[in-house]
Amino acid sequence: MDSEIRKILEAEERRQRDTLQMIPSENYASAAVRALEGSVFANKYSEGYPDRRYYQGNRNVDLVEKLAIERAKKLFAVPHANVQPYSGSPANAAVLFALAEAGDTIMGLKLAAGGHLTHGQPQITFSGRYFRSVQFGLDNEGLLDYEEIHELALREKPKVMIIGTTAYPLVFDWQRFAQIAEEVGAWLVADVAHVAGLILADAYPSPVPHAEVVTTTTHKTLRGPRGAIIMVTERGIRRDPDVAGKIDRAVFPGLQGGPHDNTTAAIAQCLFEAGQPEFRQYGQQIVKNAKALAKGLQEGGLTLVGGGTECHLLLVDLRPLSLSGNVLAEALEVAGIVCNRNAVPNDHMPPFYPSGIRMGTPALTTRGMKEREMETIAQWILQVIEHIEEERLPEKPEARAPFLKEYRKRIAGDPFLQKIAAEVKSLAGNFPVP
């Protein structure tokens, strides 16, 4: 390997090993998953689907793709699965293109409230430009207001409701979404990218009995490669017996060419892992850990959106401390705690300078950490907050970037943050990464 790349790779290996990865959409894939991603399957072209390829030489690729499909169908209890989408955004794009026409109305949760770009974010995404997007937010407590969603759906009559979240700490009421969708004749698409692994571990409700289509990425709580799966439920097939065909055609040739067969092989492996009894314990522990972390932070006086968590993530509202998400996330990173700044419901600040911090426990749980470690981590986070609580992001938008540049330099060698980073490294050393 080129020495320049090797050096960067080794630095990233150390970073992932010596610090706490608390971005809730990240995880540590197993060595087998990573080996398959880097395997000879990456050399192959396979446009088409198993037994219907446009290229020769796909005997083994067909086996691998069938295995991934069968495992997805069995684990999620669905009659149809497509494992070819390159990632979550292309998966959602394919579903929207399969179920709606240009200009049709789609409905989803606003990005600023924890929805995803592909759930209809206006103007800047295909989902908000190609379709007529109507969106709902959260109430002042940061919770879904099902009555408001119901009224919006009745008024706007969406063709597709694409429902999911990247930052909502409580469980979704899939049955309620299904009742609303049914009443207005909308397709219900559940995007469970964040919680797919929790669903398989019975740690989060499955939308499968309620939705017609389910999409997920494969690299978050599912702990596989960076990829995605689209599933059609019994309900979806009852509604339109050709819906699976429409979705398959929207993926290929509609949006994509050759599938990434190395990723497909790694998906088959991650679904094998997710079918083992240990995976159930893993998923359950993710939620226990998130609850323990939430408790520690709340006891230290922090405000959590939704009042806590029922899943793998929590969202700290920094407005009561007049603290910026950027300021805290930068300091935490110096202290070896890697999370991300995030908008809180009805945030008065723009998305680049939001008033919250999002944290998750999937990666720490993969390393074997439990409630006790979460209590320690909560104390470190509280100490970092106390250390920087006088720091203020400037009010003037043009002064923010220069301030953060200077702030980053100033805190890089901060002895207190470095002391915590050393303690973090020592704790992390007891929990090997895969």
Residues that bind ligand DSN in the complex, under the rule CB under 6 A: 25, 88, 116, 166, 193
CA distance 62 to 261: 9
CA distance 211 to 411: 48
67 or 91: CB nearest ligand DSN: 91
Q: Environment class of residue 196 by beta-carbon count within 10 Å: exposed (0-12), middle (13-18) or buried (19+)?
A: buried
Judge whether 187 and 160 are in contact, CB under 8 Å.
Answer: yes
| Nearest Cα to Cα of residue 387 among 335, 342, 351 | 335
255 or 427: CB nearest ligand DSN: 255
Which of 37, 125, 168, 191 is an active site residue? Answer: 191
Which of 18, 47, 240, 389 is an active site residue? Answer: 47
- Write down the least CB distance from residue 167 to ligand DSN, Å: 7
How distant, in Å, are the alpha carbons of 1, 10, 11, 12 from that of 4? 8, 10, 11, 13
Which of 73, 129, 176, 226 is an active site residue? Answer: 226
- Write down the least CB distance from residue 152 to ligand DSN, Å: 23
- Write down the least CB distance from residue 17 to ligand DSN, Å: 21
Asked if 6 is an active-site residue, the reply is no
CA distance 40 to 341: 38
Asked if 226 is an active-site residue, the reply is yes
Asked if 423 is an active-site residue, the reply is no
Judge whether 152 and 136 are in contact, CB under 8 Å.
Answer: yes
Which of 17, 45, 295, 370 is an active site residue? Answer: 45
Asked if 145 is an active-site residue, the reply is no
105 or 216: CB nearest ligand DSN: 216
166 or 263: CB nearest ligand DSN: 166
- Write down the least CB distance from residue 342 to ligand DSN, Å: 9
How distant, in Å, are the alpha carbons of 169, 189, 350, 369 from that of 164? 12, 9, 22, 27
113 or 411: CB nearest ligand DSN: 113
Question: What is the token pair recorded at 433?
Answer: 């990464």
132 or 220: CB nearest ligand DSN: 220
Which of 215, 217, 365, 366 is an active site residue? Answer: 217
- Write down the least CB distance from residue 118 to ligand DSN, Å: 8
Q: Give CA 87 to chain center in angstroms.
A: 11
- Write down the least CB distance from residue 138 to ligand DSN, Å: 16
Question: What is the token pair recorded at 26?
Answer: 């990240």
CA distance 421 to 415: 10
Task: Give yes or no for a cis peptide into 397 (omega within 30° of 0).
Answer: no
| Nearest Cα to Cα of residue 30 among 18, 41, 38 | 38
How distant, in Å, are the alpha carbons of 271, 325, 383 from that of 332? 33, 10, 10
Asked if 28 is an active-site residue, the reply is no
CA distance 131 to 103: 4
46 or 356: CB nearest ligand DSN: 356
Asked if 191 is an active-site residue, the reply is yes
Active site residues per annotation:
45, 47, 191, 217, 220, 226
